[in-house]
Amino acid sequence: MKIVVIGGTGLIGSKLVNQLREEGHEAVAAAPDTGVNTITGEGLAEALKGASVVVDVSNAPDWEDAAAMKFFETSTQNLLAHEAPAGVRHHVALSVVGTDRMLQSGYFRAKLAQENLIKASSIPHSIVHATQFYEFVKGIADFSTDGNTVRLPPVLIQPMAADDVASGVARVALDAPVNGILEIGGPQQFRLDELVRRALAAWKDPREVIADPQARYYGMAVSERTLLPGNDARLGETAFETWITRSAAQISSAHPQPTGVAVATNETQKKEGREKAS
C-alpha cells in the first residue's frame, strides 16, 4: 500500500517511514527537503498519485500564534484539496492529548483548527492524540528555565517515546478510519517536575528543578490532569528509565566530557532518522 507521510523527515515522520517500509509498504517521506511543500503545494499532486493513505506528522517551523495558525490551516487545506482528486481513502493526523484543554496557547488553537478542517472534509480520517514525547522533555525544561532554575507545576504527565508514537500512528494508518480521535500515551505517570529533574540528572545538566504550583507549562496554566490521556488510550511500551539511560549513553558517546554539562537535543535523533528515511 502506498502511504505518504507528510513531515516524513521529522522526528516522528522518519521513524514512521522506516517502520512502514519494514512492514513492506511503499512509504513516501514528503517534506520540503524531498520536494513536497504543503504550504506552496509544490510536489503534492505528484506525491499523492496512487496513495491510499496520507499521514500528516508535519509541524510548523514557527510556533508563534499567527505563524502556527497560518501553517496548520494552509497546509491542511492544501493537503485535503489534493487528496480528494488523488482518491486518498484515509487521512491520518498527529495531534496532542488535551489540545482542546490548552486553548490559551496559539499553538493549540492552530492544532484544533487543523483537526476541525479534517473533521469537516469528505476524506475518511483518524486523528491521533499523543502525549508529550520523551524527546520533548528538554524543550519543556528550556522553556521554563530562568538562570539555573527550572520552575514547573507538579501536574501529572504520561509521556511516551517517539518510537512508540510512530508505532501507534502506523497501527492507526493501517487500520480503517475511525472518523474521530484516538489517544496514545506512555506506560507511566509522573509529576512534571519529577520527570524533568530525572532527565536533567541523567544528562548531567546542573539546572535545579523547583515544583511551583503557580508555574506555567509552556506559558499555560494547567491543572492536575490537563496533560493526561483518558482510560481508553493505547499505551506505548518504552519506560522512561529505559529511554533516558539510552539517551544519556548516546550523549556521552557523541560528546565525551570529563566534566560539565551534557547537552541533549532531539536534533541528533532527527538527523539519524533523516539519513535512514531519505
Ligand X SMILES: NC(=O)c1ccc[n+]([C@@H]2O[C@H](COP(=O)([O-])OP(=O)(O)OC[C@H]3O[C@@H](n4cnc5c(N)ncnc54)[C@H](OP(=O)(O)O)[C@@H]3O)[C@@H](O)[C@H]2O)c1
Binding site for ligand X (CB under 6 A): 6-7, 9-13, 31-33, 36-39, 57-59, 61, 75, 94, 96, 111, 130, 132-133, 136, 270
Q: Which is nearer to ligand X, 41 or 177 (CB)?
A: 41
Tell the smallest beta-carbon distance from residue 61 to ligand X (Å): 6
| CB nearer ligand X, residue 59 or residue 247 | 59
> Nearest approach, Cβ of 272 to ligand X (angstroms)?
12
Going by C-alpha positions, the residue among 259, 234, 129, 143 that lies closest to residue 192 is 143
201 forms beta bridges with none
> CB of 225: closest distance to ligand X in angstroms?
17
The residue among 5 and 202 lying less far from ligand X, judged by its C-beta, is: 5
Smaller CB distance to ligand X: residue 7 or 153? Answer: 7
Least distance CB 227 / ligand X (angstroms):
10
Q: How far apart are the first and last CA of the chain?
A: 18
The least distance separating ligand X from the CB of residue 185, rounded to whole angstroms, comes to 10
CB 138 within 8 A of CB 199: yes
Report the distance separating Cα 205 and Cα 197, nearest Å: 9
Q: Cell numbers 496513495 label which residue?
A: 51
Contacts for 42-47 with beta carbons within 8 Å, 24 or more apart?
A: 44/78, 44/79, 44/82, 45/82, 45/86, 47/4
Smaller CB distance to ligand X: residue 250 or 260? Answer: 250
What is d(CA 140, CA 126) in angstroms, rounded to the nearest whole number? 27
Q: Find the Cα–Cα–Cα–Cα dihedral 92, 98, 99, 103, rounded to 10°.
A: 170
Minimal distance, residue 257 CB to ligand X, in Å: 26
Q: Give the span between the Cα atoms of 127 and 177, in whole angstroms.
A: 9
Report whether 133 contacts 162 (CB < 8 A).
yes
Shortest Cβ contact with ligand X: which residue? 10
Quick one: 252 or 276, whose CB is closer to ligand X? 276
